Amino acid sequence: MNHLIAPSFLAANFGNLEKEVTVINNSQADWIHLDIMDGVFVPNISFGFPVIQYVKKVSLKPLDVHLMIIDPDRYIKQFFEAGADILTVQYEACTHLHRTVNEIRNLGMKSGVALNPHTPVSLLKNILPYIDMVLIMTVNPGFGGQKFIMESYNKITELHSMINAGGYNVLIEVDGGVDIENAAKLIESGVNVLVAGSTIFSSDDPAETIHRLKYLI
């Protein structure tokens, strides 16, 4: 499978959100990545349901929604109603993870589980049969523009081996410090989905940057 590109709107210009969505619509991006932060699970606050609903209305791409919030179970149905196509929860925030990911799937969304940099991938062994994607955070979550954590390559390789050994149909997504320089190595390590924020939205030509990430040029 060819890898997917999911521009992260955490780095977009919210003063002209329709223009930013239009740029992505007209690009070779596959998804739009939306980070939801509550200021408790991570030390930052991003945006909520009205923004997701607006992006859904104008987007031609599926919405890849990542919840960096405590007690995500309270809001799963609301995120579905707001327009999430893929809903990813943090492993560290879910007391009853199996129940959470099953609820996500039962509503018709793809289910994902995200791991913070310090969380080992071995903890996912018993949940892989019930999810569609694992998101490896390659920076400490909360803020864009951080430096890529090099140890992430070992986590990706280990996770890729776990997925192959079990014969699971589970995508590997990475978010944090993804750029033109490390994209190819990430794909070689087993990544299926590249999330990039500052790299795309801070460039002079976001569509061209997406093209380069897509074709590793």
Q: What is the pLDDT along the chain (217 residues), one digit of tens a residue?
A: 599 999 999 999 999 999 999 999 999 999 999 999 999 999 899 999 999 999 999 999 999 999 999 999 999 999 999 999 999 999 999 999 999 999 999 999 999 999 999 999 999 999 999 999 999 999 998 776 678 999 999 999 999 999 999 999 999 999 999 999 999 999 999 999 999 999 999 999 999 999 999 999 8
Active-site residue, from 71, 132, 175, 204: 175
Give the CATH number, domain containing residue 47.
3.20.20.70
Query: Could you give the strand order of the β-sheet that contains 63-68, starting from the edge strand earlier in sequence?
Result: 4-7, 193-196, 171-175, 133-137, 110-115, 86-90, 63-68, 32-37
8 Å CB contact between 132 and 171: yes
35 is catalytic: yes
Active-site residue, from 35, 38, 64, 132: 35
175 is catalytic: yes
- DSSP notation for 12-43: S-GGGHHHHHHHHHTSS---EEEEEEBSSSSS
Beta-strand runs (E) in 116-166: 133-137
- Tell me what pLDDT residue 147 has: 86
What domain range includes position 130? 4-215
8 Å CB contact between 7 and 197: yes
The structural domain count of the chain equals 1
